[in-house]
Amino acid sequence: MVSVTGHVALDPARALLRRDLAALDDLVGADPQRAEALAGELAERASALGDADALVLARLGLAEAVQRTGDSAAAARLITDLRAQHDHLGPEAAVRVPWLLARVFTDLGDRPTALEHALDAAAACSDDLPRRLRTRVFVKVADLLDELGAYEDSRTWYERAEELAVGDGQLHLLVVNNRAYSELERRDAVAARREMALLHELSARYDRPLNANTLDTVARVHLLCGEPELAEAAARAAIEANSAMDAKNGDDAPVCLLTLAVVLRVRGEVAAASRVLDEARAACAREGFGTVRSQILAEQAEVFAALGDYRAAFETHKAFHAADRELLSEQREAQARARQAVFEIDVARQEAARYREEARRDPLTGLRNRLFVDERLPELLTASRSQGRVAGVVLLDLDHFKAVNDTYSHEAGDEVLRRLARILTDAVDGCPGPESFAARLGGEEFLLVVTDARSGCAADLGERVRRTVEETDWSAVTPGRAITVSAGVATLAPGGDKASLLALADARLYAAKAAGRNRVDAG
């Protein structure tokens, strides 16, 4: 399978698909609804090309578009369905999945669970992944740490994100905007003003106008600093920019309108504030955006009070609390559904992993079995060759094992096999090189694989096992009869493969038996 983030040359159709996936990543923030349609089209193209990595990324783009339009529950279902259908995710998808889940659980008001997913995404980040993705992941971690009160840790993550973002105007402004908003939420006017000044500086440096989201932050900072005139100008600029620039979330329009309404009320223009709130309600009239709806009601109550209509203010205040309770209930229900979906997928994946593991273990001895050897040994040989290591094998056979079964019973024979497995496991645990292992191929035949067999390591291992078996006290299992093994040793020859390696080891095992058994033939 070709990795989306790899450097393997692609045919023109796949190369075009990847360029379009990059375009989807840009579009999903600017216009989530158009991104939904594009993601569906890219998924169909990826499926037709048999490009599994691209198909996963297209579906994740669809999930992000759905989340940004306000339907977090639907986004959660898309993500969990995708995880259920794919056992292995490419490097980029392995980061995008937990990052999107962090966004979903943030929307649902469950910050601790969101942070867990965000940290999982950060842990999966590597330097060869797109810088934009890594920056957004780090910003998400910083945002959540800030919201959970871990302010110093939050600042550290913002710094990491900013280091990545330098040179990319859009990313750099994103990081500073979020950091400014965190200072705003803490009501730190000095720090918020400092970040606001940096936003204007970066806008000039990169020759990039501030987007609606950032202008809304600027408006709120001015309001915090007691500058309502400047706040109104920024709020109106945010509303104007919302339709023309890269709005980052589907609820930007009502949020910007809400900010303007607050500014107008503070300035004493309460009738105008009331009209703007009507626009804000209309902007989020469809499903979703429960948090913004609740905030609009709270502000509407303030406006009615400022107009002297205390009955309307009281009724609206009651409606706000009812909406707030309903929102909390919906969030809890959605959290439960999302957690259940994630839990069910995780359990299913764990069960599948357990079944795969069991299918590759010998039930009697607990060693790896022939299926595992057939699947894993070729990969290890290729890796050893590419890394300059010498792979080796020891093929062992219990001497006269049929006589053990016939004389002492099959139960005794099984105990001999289990004890031998423990000897082999202990022996291979001390071998150099990663991923050396012991396996039972069937009956009384065993295999030891050494992934770094330089300087006669495999031959030494075979002789050490032979001597250990010979010197073991077997009297409790086979009284009056010693147990011995014969072995053939082989190392991977240049141009060799699994078949030639095992054939050589088998030939040498046969030679060891023909020479009298209880010996090792290493050629």
Catalytic residue ranges: 444
Please give the single-letter amino acid code of residue 376: R
132: CB partners within 8 A, 6+ apart: 25, 168, 171
Give me the helix-helix angle, 252-266 and 212-224, nearest 10°.
Answer: 20
HSE (side-chain half, CA atoms, 13 Å) at 40: 6
- Under a CB-based contact definition with an 8 Å cutoff, are residues 102 and 117 in contact? yes
Q: Environment class of residue 189 by beta-carbon count within 10 Å: exposed (0-12), middle (13-18) or buried (19+)?
A: middle
Consecutive H or E run containing 446:
strand 445-450
Please give the single-letter amino acid code of residue 237: A
Give me the helix-helix angle, 32-49 and 52-68, nearest 10°.
Answer: 170
Which segments of 372-424 are extended strands (E)? 392-398
What is the DSSP track for 131-174?
A: HHHHHHHHHHHHHHHHHTT-HHHHHHHHHHHHHHHTT-HHHHHH
- Under a CB-based contact definition with an 8 Å cutoff, are residues 76 and 342 in contact? yes
